[in-house]
Structure 1
Amino acid sequence: GYDGAKADIWSCGVILYALLAGFLPFQHSNLMELYRKISRGEFKCPHWFSPQVRKLLSWILEPNPIQRITVAKLMENCWFRKGYKHIDIPPPSPQPRTLDSLITDHSSGSWEPRSPVRPSYFNAFDIISLSQGLNLSGLFEKDLNQRDCSRFTTRKPASDIVSKFEQIAQTESFSIKNKDGKVKLQGSKEGRKGQLGIDAEIFEVTPSFYVVELKKTAGDTLEYKNFCNKELKPSLKDIVWAWQGSNNYTQSLV
């Protein structure tokens, strides 16, 4: 099964290699050959890599997660510890409630307290998976046509993104909830399969660049697609940089 901690160690190995070499450890013009190299851990180190870092990278980029080096062992490595200074991070102090957090927003017809926007974070592999050529979701999802999900990129701050969804909720008579970077929209009209429900999750790529993922959580699929195409997407045009599938979507992530 998938082990996030082990995968993160491998990701750090790719980043370390790229920082030291100036290029990626696994490269090939043929995509399937590239996957084969990654799965077998086939890579070569430049001549300027020291023996210590070569050995460390071989442990980090080990394709078998069971045999891959752990964080504890990594931090004991002599190459890693050279010049290393431990920093004690104090525990976060409870944040005082602000006036903004106490103000309730009833413009959309629902009395939900406004909460601070805390978007999730995109890592390097999340970004890679958004590329059509490198997206491996087809290996795990049986029917890609059944995915009621779309994404767009934006340069607007998270607070502006949430405000835009609040405006849409008011115009389209949706109730809205915002918590931890996820906006939940709930329709008031009864459709073929009940009320339409939509989640919009905000992911931070950089402090000035975000990816927003839209997903149907309730209601009829056809009604959802019609709403997105005729109402939601036109209403979001002021904040959207590029929609997934457009020519400049992948370029905007680079």
Structure 2
Amino acid sequence: MENVGNVLMQKYEFGKMLGQGNFAKVYHGRDINSGHNIAIKVIDKEKVLKVGLIDQTKREISVMGMVKHPNIVQLYEVLATKTKIYFAMEYAKGGELFDKVSKGRLKEDVARKYFQQLIGAVDFCHTRGVYHRDLKPENLLLDEYGNLKVTDFGLSAHASCTRLDGLLHTTCGTPAYVAPEVISRKGYDGAKADIWSCGVVLFVLLTGQLPFNDSNIIQMYKKISKADYKCPNWVPSEARRLLKRILDPNPVTRISMKKIMENSWFKKGLDTKQMEATMEKETPLVNADKPFFEPKKPDFTRVSSFNAFDIISLSSGFDLSGLFVGNDQRDEVKFTSTKPASDIISKMEEIATSLKMEVGVKKGWQLNFKRPSEGRNGPLSVGVEIFEIASNFHLVEVTKSCGDALEYQKILKNYIRPALQEIVWAWHGE
């Protein structure tokens, strides 16, 4: 398969390998019927199954089928055999944008052109409910005409992936490019997080360096949390002002996509036709001699999974929340348990009943319970979510979704924590 000249299902001819990762390799290819150059991503199905990336692979296929845009790498077709999955994709002859910026900063008009195309593509994704979550120069390719193409949707999420609070909670991405709210693990708006990453990319394009860079990752996270960066004097004042509004550590006041596209510096030399260009949504791209993965019976007992980034960030050394709020003021507490997830849920429902709180929405291993009477800040609502770290070892997050903080701290201290003694193995941070 990996030898030059091999043909996939009498449709695509393989050329040289362009790059590889842990679970996939990318080859230069040719469509035999049309003669067009393509890229072929080859995924090892056994490796993907072994590390539990089935859902991620399926999501990448689904998302790429939804986002058809001139500045997004197009997925033409998905093929599969017993051992491999093949993505036939648009070929970006110009390679990674990273290769350009690694040689130094770009001219202002060139940097602005790439930024305009990036914003156009990412805004299009957001209108489809798709959040990329790993925007960086290595995931931005260039075609033969120098047009930018967003690629690698492996860490992307759809709006349907949000929790009961309407936010995403998976900590992922490349540390130097992630928004502060992603690191804080308190939930984040996928669109606002992508906007921050776009701002970091713009800074890199204009300066040839990262705004937040430190060999000590904790120090780097501290800089990110405060938006502590220095913009060189050669960066135009208009661009500096725009960067300040994008790299706002508060996602609520951070500039929106709409406002970015209305910005005077952004609009200079803008190709409005290209910004407005979109392609119609197409049907799922599936064509295989067998399904991607053998069908399995639904597993209704499965809890939310945890990745390595999540586990590392649970270390007290990586917990930055102490920089901003005391232990007795936090809206979220965590504990680990060796009990089955069903026992934990049952215990939480029992506690809610004893507190005369209504058990609200249940979604998988998430539940929410509310106090009917309204406090001074509205009805108290408490959310619970269980994550499986290993077999029979769970992490549980108990979060105040809304309501009065003092009331939450009171019931947490006097009722919830004492009632969980038989369930809790250890409270996080204690």
TM-score for the superposition, normalised by structure 2: 0.32
Write out per-residue CA displacement over residues 217-244 of structure 1, whole angstroms, 9 at most, x where no aligned residue. Answer: 1210011001100011111111000111
The answer as to 2:371 corresponding to 1:167 is no
The answer as to 2:154 corresponding to 1:5 is yes
Note the residue ranges of structure 1 that are not aligned, 5 or more in a row.
Answer: 12-31, 40-86, 96-115, 247-254
Task: Answer yes or no: is the 8 Å Cα contact 1:117–1:179 preserved in 2.
Answer: no
What is the alpha-carbon distance in structure 2 between the residues aligned to residue 10 and residue 192 of structure 1?
40
The answer as to 2:335 corresponding to 1:134 is no
Write out per-residue CA displacement over residues 132-156 of structure 1, whole angstroms, 9 at most, x where no aligned residue. Answer: 1133568xxx944574111000000
Q: 1:35 aligns with which of 197, 217, 221?
A: 217
The equivalent residue for 1:71 is none
Amino acid paired to 2:396: V
Task: Answer yes or no: is the 8 Å Cα contact 1:156–1:208 preserved in 2.
Answer: yes
Note the C-alpha offset of 1:161.
Answer: 0.4
Note the C-alpha offset of 1:207.
Answer: 1.7
Which residues of 2 match residues 1-254 of structure 1 at below 5 A? Answer: 2-3=133-134, 5=154, 33-35=215-217, 88-92=292-296, 116-135=300-319, 143-145=324-326, 147-176=330-359, 177-246=361-430
Write out per-residue CA displacement over residues 30-84 of structure 1, whole angstroms, 9 at most, x where no aligned residue. Answer: xx64439x99xxxxxxxxxxxxxxxxxxxxxxxxxxxxxxxxxxxxxxxxxxxxx
Instruction: Summarize the Cα distance change of 1:35–1:120 in structure 2 as closer, same or farther, 3 Å threshold.
Output: same
Q: Which has the higher contact order (CA 8 A, sep 6+)?
A: 1
Note the C-alpha offset of 1:118.
Answer: 3.8
What is the alpha-carbon distance in structure 1 between the residues aligned to residue 393 and residue 402 of structure 2?
29
The equivalent residue for 1:98 is none
Write out per-residue CA displacement over residues 111-148 of structure 1, whole angstroms, 9 at most, x where no aligned residue. Answer: xxxxx55421111111111111133568xxx9445741
What is the alpha-carbon distance in structure 1 between the residues aligned to residue 343 and residue 331 of structure 2?
24
Instruction: Summarize the Cα distance change of 1:117–1:226 in structure 2 as closer, same or farther, 3 Å threshold.
Output: farther
What is the alpha-carbon distance in structure 2 between the residues aligned to residue 94 and residue 130 of structure 1?
30
What is the alpha-carbon distance in structure 2 between the residues aligned to residue 117 and residue 184 of structure 1?
18
Amino acid paired to 2:407: E
The equivalent residue for 1:77 is none
What is the alpha-carbon distance in structure 2 between the residues aligned to residue 179 and residue 244 of structure 1?
24
Amino acid paired to 2:342: S
Tell me, what secondary structure is at the counterpart of 1:162?
helix
Task: Answer yes or no: is the 8 Å Cα contact 2:172–2:309 preserved in 1.
Answer: no
Note the C-alpha offset of 1:92.
Answer: 4.3
User: Which deviates more from structure 2 when the two are superposed, residues 228-237 or residues 125-134?
Assistant: 125-134
Amino acid paired to 1:175: E
Q: How many residues align?
A: 156
Amino acid paired to 1:197: S
Task: Answer yes or no: is the 8 Å Cα contact 1:198–1:215 preserved in 2.
Answer: yes
Note the C-alpha offset of 1:164.
Answer: 0.2
Percent identity between matched residues is 40
Tell me, what secondary structure is at the counterpart of 1:165?
helix
Note the residue ranges of structure 2 that are not aligned, 5 or more in a row.
Answer: 1-131, 135-152, 156-170, 176-213, 222-290
Amino acid paired to 1:195: P
Note the C-alpha offset of 1:175.
Answer: 1.4
Task: Answer yes or no: is the 8 Å Cα contact 2:133–2:172 preserved in 1.
Answer: no
Tell me, what secondary structure is at the counterpart of 2:347?
helix
Task: Answer yes or no: is the 8 Å Cα contact 2:371–2:380 preserved in 1.
Answer: yes
What is the alpha-carbon distance in structure 2 between the residues aligned to residue 88 and residue 225 of structure 1?
48
Amino acid paired to 1:158: A
Instruction: Summarize the Cα distance change of 1:9–1:169 in structure 2 as closer, same or farther, 3 Å threshold.
Output: closer
What is the alpha-carbon distance in structure 2 between the residues aligned to residue 129 and residue 90 of structure 1?
34
What is the alpha-carbon distance in structure 2 between the residues aligned to residue 224 and residue 5 of structure 1?
37
Tell me, what secondary structure is at the counterpart of 2:154?
helix
What is the alpha-carbon distance in structure 1 between the residues aligned to residue 154 and residue 399 of structure 2?
27
What is the alpha-carbon distance in structure 2 between the residues aligned to residue 94 and residue 162 of structure 1?
20
Amino acid paired to 2:336: T
What is the alpha-carbon distance in structure 1 between the residues aligned to residue 312 and residue 336 of structure 2?
14
Note the C-alpha offset of 1:5.
Answer: 3.2
The equivalent residue for 2:20 is none
What is the alpha-carbon distance in structure 1 between the residues aligned to residue 302 and residue 362 of structure 2?
10
Task: Answer yes or no: is the 8 Å Cα contact 2:375–2:403 preserved in 1.
Answer: yes
